[in-house]
Amino acid sequence: MHDHGHGHTHGHHHGQAASSAALLLALGLTLGFSFVEALAGWWASSLALLGDAGHMLTDSFALGLAAVAARLAQRPPSQRLSYGLGRMEALAALINGLLMIAVVAAIVWHAVERLLTPQTVAGGTVTVVALIGLIINIAAAWLLSRGGNDLNTRAALLHVMGDLLGSVAALAAGLIIQFTGWMPIDPLLSVLICGLILASTLSLLRQVFTTLLEGVPESLSLPEVGRSMAAVDGIVSVHDLHIWSLGAGRVALSAHVVITSLTDWPAVLPRLQTALASQFGIEHATLQPEVPRTEPIVFKRKRGDA
């Protein structure tokens, strides 16, 4: 008969109010201007502006997901949803990613048509709107840089920095058309912007599939976590180690922990929980203590470990 012990700890996010406020303000700026830019792009017949509007809309959705995830993460689990609503972020991101791939395909199709049959683009309008978009993105990046250092805010900041590049490309298209009249630059730079959208979308989808398939988060290494656990004082070895994402920035872990005597478990458990939380940010761990037995060992305490 084996004693089965669970260690669960729940951390509190410092500066969560500041992060949520920064996310919401950045969301308002980028989402509002994405519609303005889309209308201006349609009026000026600029695919570069339309592409940048699509990029900003994608990142606005990402900012919205981050803000919603921050709120949903605070809701307690229910009897039906024992892990809470963290996975809603992954499901929404999956839908968003698939939609944006369709948007990219449509913009590239129209860009090819524009290259074959060039159309007049209002370069002055493109320049002015792209310049405003650049200012908006700089303001959003400033807000997020001051809003906190949690994973959601850092990921949102990366999206906004991608928007900055898109605005620079659209601004370059407007200036080149305005001063040289070379119209093909607009569809060419729209394809470049689509490349930015596609890169961020594929990265998002890769993270989504990792979460939905309960894979180890990209920020963590299963062998590294296992070796760190085995190095905790009082632990002989660790096996049956699993790490997966619960969504909304939460990571779960389960493992069998081999110790010399089960009477040592009350002292070993807090040390192990502290190590997981401080080194890897894992605050939801289910740990089963075991005494040594003859079976394959995956992670074993090294000689000389303190």
Distance CA 265, CA 101 (A): 51
How many residues are listed for the chain in this entry? Answer: 306
Average pLDDT over the chain reads: 79
* pLDDT level of residue 155 (50, 70, 90 thresholds): low
- Which DSSP category does 245 fall into? E
Are 214 and 274 spatial neighbours (Cβ–Cβ below 8 Å)? no
Q: How many Å apart are CA 187 and CA 47, to the nearest integer?
A: 6
Across 24-28, 143-147, 235-239, the highest mean pLDDT is recorded for 235-239
Q: Rounded to whole angstroms, how far apart are CA atoms 136 and 146?
A: 16
Would you state the pLDDT for residue 74? 67
Mind listing the domains of the chain with CATH numbers? Answer: 16-212 (1.20.1510.10), 217-300 (3.30.70.1350)
- Band the pLDDT of 10: cuts 50, 70, 90: very low
Residue 20, pLDDT score: 66
Confidence (pTM): 0.64
Split at pLDDT 50, 70, 90, the class of 189 is: confident
Read off the pLDDT of residues 248-295 as tens digits, 9 standing for 90 and up. 668 899 999 999 889 999 999 999 999 999 999 998 899 999 988 755
Phi/psi of residue 46, each to 5°?
A: -105, 115
Higher pLDDT, 173 or 222: 222
User: Which one-letter DSSP state was computed for residue 14?
Assistant: T
Does the pLDDT at position 1 exceed 50? Answer: no
Two tokens, residue 230 = 């085995």
Token pair belonging to 159: 């999206």
State how far the Cα of 153 lies from the Cα of 165, in Å rounded to an integer: 19
Q: What is the pLDDT of residues 84-141, one digit of tens each?
A: 776 776 777 777 777 778 878 877 887 888 788 777 788 888 888 888 888 988 888 8
Q: Which DSSP state fits 8? A: E
pLDDT in tens, 64-83: 766 676 676 667 777 887 77
- Cα–Cα distances (Å) from 272 to 17, 249, 257, in that order, read 30, 21, 10
Q: In angstroms, rounded to a whole number, what is the distance separating the alpha carbons of residues 172 and 49?
A: 11
- Write phi, then psi, for 241 (nearest 5 degrees): -85, 130
